[in-house]
Structure 1
Amino acid sequence: MTESTNPRLSDGTLLSDLINLETREVKMRTLSDPELYELEMERIFAKTWVFLGHETEIPNKGDFVVRDMGSDSVLMARGSDDNIYVSLNVCPHRGMKISTHDVGNTPVHVCIYHGWAFKPNGDFIGAPVDKECMHGNLLTKEQLGLKKARVAIYGGLVFATWNIDGPSFDDFLGDAKWYFDTLWCRTNKGMEVLGPPQRFTIRANWKTACEQSASDGFHVLTLHRWLSEVGPYRKPGSEGGGGDLTPEMYGSEVYTAHAHTMRCIELDRKIRRLTGKEPSELSVKEKLEALPPPGITPAMLPEMMERFSEDQLKLMTWRPPQVGNFFPNGLFEFVYIPTPDGVIGVMALHAYVPKGPDKLEFVNWILAEKDTPPELKAQMLRLGVQLLGTSGMVEQDDSDTWPHQTLAAKGAVSKNITLKYQAMYENAKPEGWPGPGDVGDGFTKDDTQWRWWQYWHELMTAKN
């Protein structure tokens, strides 16, 4: 636990006045306040590990993409040594952006203002007219490189932090790593992105999306009810809708110290429907063959089974993580989508990038294992974009609510009402639960989202 402070906003409000840790309430003002936003950029996005993208977006030496770590633009680039580097996209000479492109390939990044040049790893090369030494003699070339972040590559995912001497990436993941390994580290070759990410801007505070991404399951019943009325969960032959999403609300939810969370949804119904047998009568291998994890083909199963412990395989065939988050602003979806021909697994990643107190950028990647057959990749991409992409049917629902919340948070009266997270698990881990962390069992509750706010509070009040 970090030593805490209690920042005071310009109107005299203490940060502790915005969140009631006993009654599990958060004032709406947190979703719009500009001062609070600036503090978040300094105390969260400049301190924690931030998800930026996937290594297969920049497969070749010199490849780069421009991303954001909170309010800071960064270059995510593959160097001549084949390693991935993350550097501040700001020239140390006069503050011009080094790259004004979103993506590209170059062995040298040249600032368009005065021509200072940098390697993909951020090292300073020099300024034009070398004999005139236009970079001066007061600082060495080593001191004039781009500001570099610490980088961690995990299962192909790229994370970075400005907190150079802070906790390791493994410490940041904590108990969540045991579960995340079953998603991101399933095959020897790993995953790849199926094309560049989709992006669009939403007039909403970043936290509206991110507190929902912390495994809010309850909203699915109402906001996404079309899934059971006309979508993939519609009961065949029913009149006027018919399907029931309530069974999808049961399972287990995991929440960890650093607010990485996940919804682990029961598979027994699907396996029973596919095999006609009780899951308890089947071995782990038989259940995996009947219903492979999203994105895993039967041919990949032997390799996957060798990579995990018995406890992890038990989880993957009982209640695997299907939706969850990376704190502070990442969401993942590993979902089973019913189709007329059976079940297709879809894998998506979202980042909700802050662009101001009332603006965020929604970034969406669709992924597949590298060994996935091309025709299946095409199906996964099509279905992923249709459901989970920027124009996807699910995301149209979600992105409609967040601007309304942000606008309400600006009201003279409504800014002081509270977001409530008071539906609590009152039971222990389910019997035989194989993994670590805090675990709730049964119908989805608010504990995962509340953990998100608890960690937000811890970081916002931490002594720098």
Structure 2
Amino acid sequence: MTQTESFRPTTVSTRLDEILDKVEAALEDDLVPVDIFNDQEVFEAEVDRIFTNNWVFVAHESEIPNPGDFVQRRIGIDPVIVTRDGQGGINVLSNYCRHRGTQVCQTDSGNSRFFKCPYHGWTYNSRGQLIGTPHLQDAYGELLDPDDWSLMRAPKVDTRQGFIFASLNADVPPLEEYLGGAGWMLDAIVGLHPQGMRVAGPPDRYRVKADWKTAAENFSGDVYHLDVLHWGTEEIHVSQGLQMSCEIARRYEFGNGHNFTGHAWTKAIHPGYVLWGYPEHIASQFDLSGLDEAQLHVVNHEPPTVGTIFPNLSFIRFNTPAVPGGPMSVVTSFRQWQPIGPGEIELWSWQFVWDFMSEEEIEQHYVTGEFVFGSAGVFEQDDTVAWEGIAKAGASPWARKAGMSLNFQQGRNSAVDQSPDPTWTGPGIKRNTGYGEHVQLAFYRHWLDVMRGEGAAPTATEGN
């Protein structure tokens, strides 16, 4: 045996493989090991296998409406610049200069035809093409080939309802195929008017010591926590009837890790409480002619309240007052759980409004959204504190040594019917209860599939 051969690893299974094997075995019993929520090796694999291989939301078109507009965002831990070029095209560019790697864009948003690296001055246009190098003749003697030295570009960029998605994987399935039923639901959420929705302002951004999966799974449809964790909002009359949250919940499973949960408002409140409870002067401007029969039923009777598009884009919409006893507003927030490191995220939260709304209505909806789901929101504070405890459990030496798993077995022996709705004509699976943790398990099973390198999971079908 040579000296080199003596240092070759003799094990055929890495520590990560062992963790994934453990997850696979636990999921068979509807359990999730704590190991995956605060682990350096798991985190690095997620960045490599999930965030660089899937479609990831990066911006909304309303954030870059004009030529030269840009915002700085992230795909996983990679900073990217999302630009609108002079021809109206959307570009997602790496924010690392090709000369020495310095970030060429240092601001969150703006309008510029060029990005000039602050280190040595290499300059790129809004399509990422290298167009300038200082002291060209003395330094290089000839033009550098832009095909070789322009900013790296995301090979796949596409939009749905103004939401811009990008993938660093050139072989990713088309966005429409990837979204599947989640795209269908997104159409029902923001496609109720020809002008669509727009952001009301830049996103809130703040750090939370929690795992991105915990937040994404929660927004897939954990309604079981509402009357416990958020009971304080009922005591101050911001919300009411939280104890009914599971009884009137409706679950939508679309495969590929995409899940939504709605509520049967016309059953719980009154038959006229359609379209999330939007007031008549707003609802009367909606055009529902493009929705199919199942979408019409959903938006009128059992509309989505929360949802997650895998991996890390989530949504919430509900009717609430800005202050106890104040006027009601239908809050629409999209949020992204940006991974930073093991057990830590940066939470990005956008408030969305209808483009036709008056400035007064926009301000009211924005303020209400910030009150309930802003950085100091009354719901947000509850959630983030609870999520941070899960990350601590994930790093606990005792929990790991004991082989601690989290319980997702709710409803196994319940008398509540959790079977798929046989009358459902929309995509995926619909269940008529919030009891059972089907959507959360669907999220983690897809997470495991992607971490195993098995790509997109099959579309959800009845009986899963």
TM-score (norm 1): 0.87
Partner secondary structure for residue 348 of structure 1: strand
Matched, 1:267 2:273: no
The amino acid that maps onto 1:142 is D
With 11-20 and 263-272 compared, the bigger mean Cα shift is at 11-20
Name the residue aligned to 2:124: 118
With 168-177 and 297-306 compared, the bigger mean Cα shift is at 297-306
Q: Judge conservation of contact 1:294–1:346 (CA < 8 Å) in 2.
A: no
1:293 Cα deviation from its structure 2 partner: 3.9
The amino acid that maps onto 2:447 is W
**How many residues were matched structurally?**
435
Using a 3 Å threshold, how does the CA distance of structure 1 residues 135 and 268 change in structure 2: closer, same or farther? farther
1:388 Cα deviation from its structure 2 partner: 0.6
Counterpart of 1:429 (choices 410, 420, 432) is 420
User: After the TM superposition, which residues 3-402 of structure 1 pair with which residues of structure 2 at under 5 Å, given as runs?
Assistant: 8-10=13-15, 13-19=18-24, 20-132=26-138, 134=140, 140-149=145-154, 150-234=156-240, 243-247=241-245, 249-269=247-267, 272=270, 279=271, 287=272, 291-293=274-276, 298=281, 301=284, 303-337=286-320, 340=325, 343-402=328-387
Matched, 1:419 2:410: no
Task: Write the distance in 1 (CA, Å) between the matches of 2:258 and 2:279.
Answer: 24
Partner secondary structure for residue 419 of structure 1: strand
Q: Judge conservation of contact 2:274–2:301 (CA < 8 Å) in 1.
A: no
Task: Write the distance in 1 (CA, Å) between the matches of 2:173 and 2:286.
Answer: 32
Task: Write the distance in 2 (CA, Å) between the matches of 1:308 and 1:7.
Answer: 52
Question: What are the ranges of 5 or more consecutive residues in structure 2 without an aligned counterpart?
Answer: 1-10, 456-464
1:376 Cα deviation from its structure 2 partner: 1.4
The amino acid that maps onto 2:300 is T
Q: Judge conservation of contact 1:29–1:410 (CA < 8 Å) in 2.
A: yes
Name the residue aligned to 2:446: 455
Partner secondary structure for residue 382 of structure 1: helix
Q: Judge conservation of contact 2:95–2:103 (CA < 8 Å) in 1.
A: yes
Q: Deviations over 1:126-150 (max 9, x none)?
A: 311233463977x721121111112
Q: Judge conservation of contact 1:7–1:14 (CA < 8 Å) in 2.
A: no
Q: Deviations over 1:20-47 (max 9, x none)?
A: 2310212111011101110000100000
Partner secondary structure for residue 432 of structure 2: strand
Q: Deviations over 1:285-333 (max 9, x none)?
A: xx4xx54446675355364222212332122111111111111111101
Q: Deviations over 1:366-425 (max 9, x none)?
A: 011100122211111111000011110000001101222112211112133002211258
Q: Judge conservation of contact 1:61–1:80 (CA < 8 Å) in 2.
A: yes
1:344 Cα deviation from its structure 2 partner: 2.3
Q: Judge conservation of contact 1:252–1:440 (CA < 8 Å) in 2.
A: yes
Partner secondary structure for residue 86 of structure 1: strand
Task: Write the distance in 2 (CA, Å) between the matches of 1:408 and 1:303.
Answer: 46
Q: Judge conservation of contact 1:9–1:15 (CA < 8 Å) in 2.
A: no
Matched, 1:444 2:446: no
Partner secondary structure for residue 380 of structure 1: helix
The amino acid that maps onto 1:429 is P
Name the residue aligned to 2:3: none
Q: Judge conservation of contact 2:65–2:84 (CA < 8 Å) in 1.
A: yes
The amino acid that maps onto 1:78 is R
Task: Write the distance in 2 (CA, Å) between the matches of 1:190 and 1:459.
Answer: 32
Q: Deviations over 1:256-290 (max 9, x none)?
A: 21111111200124552xxxxxx3xxxxxxx4xx5
Task: Write the distance in 1 (CA, Å) between the matches of 2:16 and 2:447.
Answer: 21
The amino acid that maps onto 2:284 is L
Q: Judge conservation of contact 1:98–1:109 (CA < 8 Å) in 2.
A: yes
The amino acid that maps onto 1:213 is F
Q: Judge conservation of contact 1:7–1:15 (CA < 8 Å) in 2.
A: no
Q: Deviations over 1:139-178 (max 9, x none)?
A: 7211211111121121111111101121010111112222
With 317-326 and 204-213 compared, the bigger mean Cα shift is at 204-213
With 76-85 and 16-25 compared, the bigger mean Cα shift is at 16-25
Task: Write the distance in 2 (CA, Å) between the matches of 1:264 and 1:293.
Answer: 10
Name the residue aligned to 1:238: none
Question: What are the ranges of 5 or more consecutive residues in structure 1 without an aligned counterpart?
Answer: 1-5, 235-242, 273-278, 280-286
Q: Judge conservation of contact 2:246–2:433 (CA < 8 Å) in 1.
A: no
1:9 Cα deviation from its structure 2 partner: 3.8
Q: Judge conservation of contact 1:78–1:85 (CA < 8 Å) in 2.
A: yes
Q: Judge conservation of contact 2:275–2:283 (CA < 8 Å) in 1.
A: no
Using a 3 Å threshold, how does the CA distance of structure 1 residues 134 and 360 change in structure 2: closer, same or farther? farther
Partner secondary structure for residue 74 of structure 2: strand
Q: Judge conservation of contact 1:176–1:261 (CA < 8 Å) in 2.
A: yes
TM-score (norm 2): 0.87
Q: Judge conservation of contact 1:175–1:436 (CA < 8 Å) in 2.
A: yes
Task: Write the distance in 1 (CA, Å) between the matches of 2:327 and 2:103.
Answer: 49
1:7 Cα deviation from its structure 2 partner: 9.3
Task: Write the distance in 1 (CA, Å) between the matches of 2:15 and 2:375.
Answer: 37
The amino acid that maps onto 1:77 is T
Using a 3 Å threshold, how does the CA distance of structure 1 residues 301 and 311 change in structure 2: closer, same or farther? farther
Task: Write the distance in 1 (CA, Å) between the matches of 2:353 and 2:190.
Answer: 10
Task: Write the distance in 1 (CA, Å) between the matches of 2:231 and 2:104.
Answer: 46
Q: Identity of paired residues, percent?
A: 28
Task: Write the distance in 1 (CA, Å) between the matches of 2:71 and 2:113.
Answer: 13
The amino acid that maps onto 1:366 is Q
Task: Write the distance in 2 (CA, Å) between the matches of 1:177 and 1:140.
Answer: 40
Using a 3 Å threshold, how does the CA distance of structure 1 residues 160 and 75 change in structure 2: closer, same or farther? same
The amino acid that maps onto 1:428 is S
